[in-house]
Amino acid sequence: MPFITTTDGVDIFYKDWGPRDGRPLVFHHGWPLSSDDWDAQMLFFANNGYRVIAHDRRGHGRSTQVSDGHDMNHYAADVEAMVAALDLHGAVHIGHSTGGGEVARYVAKYGAGRGVAKTVLIGAVPPIMLKTEANPEGLPLEVFNSFRDGVANNRAQFYRDVAAGPFYGFNRTGVEAVPGVVDNWWRQGMIGSAKAHYDGIKAFSETDFTEDLKTIDVPTLILHGDDDQVVPIADSAHKAIKLLKKGQLKVYPGFSHGMATVNADVINADILAFIEG
């Protein structure tokens, strides 16, 4: 399997599909998943002539289960190590949820040197999820402590409950759960490290991406469902769009946090139109 090794000795697993001369698209997955969560997008874009790359974040999926470095600066540096190893230039970076935060930090720190062309943020966590004095509309710390409790006390059941409930909106009246989708979410989560997932909660909930968003000067598309129960739109997309220099916001009525999977046909078409526009 393909890996790159970071400067601090972490082996990062990645997928690299499609023609090598195709325009590169780099996908950044959400918590606590892996590059497998992008299969619907990677197949679609590879079949449309793009070179598609996705990695398993450190401690997630098939990457090394290290004890430390589970923060946005390390995440971004790991992406840069992969991008440098593959010699990618002019890529479009696409991030979902926590991966959206990773995109914001990566592009702000490294994008200029790599000629990043565009970015796409899907149900993304920026600018900051946690409720603070400066962000009174955020989610209280107790919400994220409940995530920590779930990971620490019965991770297997917690992951089953998240996937079968709010992540895909399967807890909504009239919405039928798709067992394979739930099982695949659970599978991805359980492959990863409990330590990485536990520490990663702080990374996705407490990191303030305000300055990162202000720094990004490439066209950025924000896609968000207005029934996102995991990353509420009012405290994420509606704020992020005001910080971007070249941002576009598209809101999907009734769509869930996991819309890139359960509504892949819609999301893929809109990303394609943005990339080619």
The DSSP symbol for 1 reads -
Q: Is 193 a catalytic residue?
A: no
* 16 and 51 Cβ atoms separated by less than 8 Å: yes
Scanning the structure block, which residue is given the tokens 């399997």? 1
The burial class, CB within 10 Å (0-12 / 13-18 / 19+), for 136 is exposed
CA-to-CA separations, 208 to 150, 220, 222, in angstroms, rounded: 24, 18, 17
Q: Please identify which of the residues 34, 35, 97, 236 carries the catalytic annotation.
A: 97
Compute φ and ψ for 12, nearest 5 degrees. -105, 120
* 44 and 54 Cβ atoms separated by less than 8 Å: no
Euclidean distance between CA atoms 132 and 188, whole angstroms: 31
- CA-closest candidate to residue 136, choices 234, 249, 231: 234
Other residues' Cβ atoms within 10 Å of the Cβ of residue 191? 17
Compute φ and ψ for 17, nearest 5 degrees. -115, 160
Pairing of strands 24-28, 92-96: parallel
Q: Please identify which of the residues 78, 212, 228, 235 carries the catalytic annotation.
A: 228
Euclidean distance between CA atoms 42 and 31, whole angstroms: 18
Q: Is 224 a catalytic residue?
A: no
Cβ within 8 Å of residue 219, ≥6 positions away? 118, 119, 246, 247, 248, 274
Q: Is 228 a catalytic residue?
A: yes
User: So which residues are the catalytic ones?
Assistant: 97, 228, 257
